[in-house]
Amino acid sequence: MSAVHLPISGVSALDDFRQVYAEALNYGFSALGRHIGNVVANYLARKYRIAPVDTYSDPKLLFEALEKSLGYGSIVVETRIIKSLYSQLSVPLSTQPVIRMGHPEDFEKYV
């Protein structure tokens, strides 16, 4: 799906969702290109002290970090992440034109 790789570690009951989330992040960050996607993911991990893949339990943290780092460009990454999640989970998307991770009613309604 993407050339950007955000590895996850550990074994738990959440591994399946974490894998889906990691793949969605890879797809989202790939909008920035392979190298820039990796640079942004590493920057977010260093600056906010949490790897993007570890935000699976609270994606709003990732949204806030993306918005602070990329401004309106975060919408592209965010939308791709959410569309990938919905697609992988076989859940229909809302009819709203833009679904934002920072708005729980959009994200949590379906996930």
Residue 80: predicted pLDDT: 92
Of the two residues 18 and 7, the one the predictor is more confident about is 18
Domains and CATH numbers, the chain: 15-107 (1.10.1200)
- Give me the DSSP letters along the chain: --S--------STTHHHHHHHHHHHHHHHGGG-HHHHHHHHHHHHHHHSS-GGGGTT-HHHHHHHHHHHHGGGHHHHHHHHHHHHHHHTT-PPPSSS---TT-HHHHTTT-
Indicate the average pLDDT of the chain.
77
For 32-75, what is each residue's pLDDT tens digit? 998 998 899 899 889 988 889 888 888 888 988 899 888 888 89
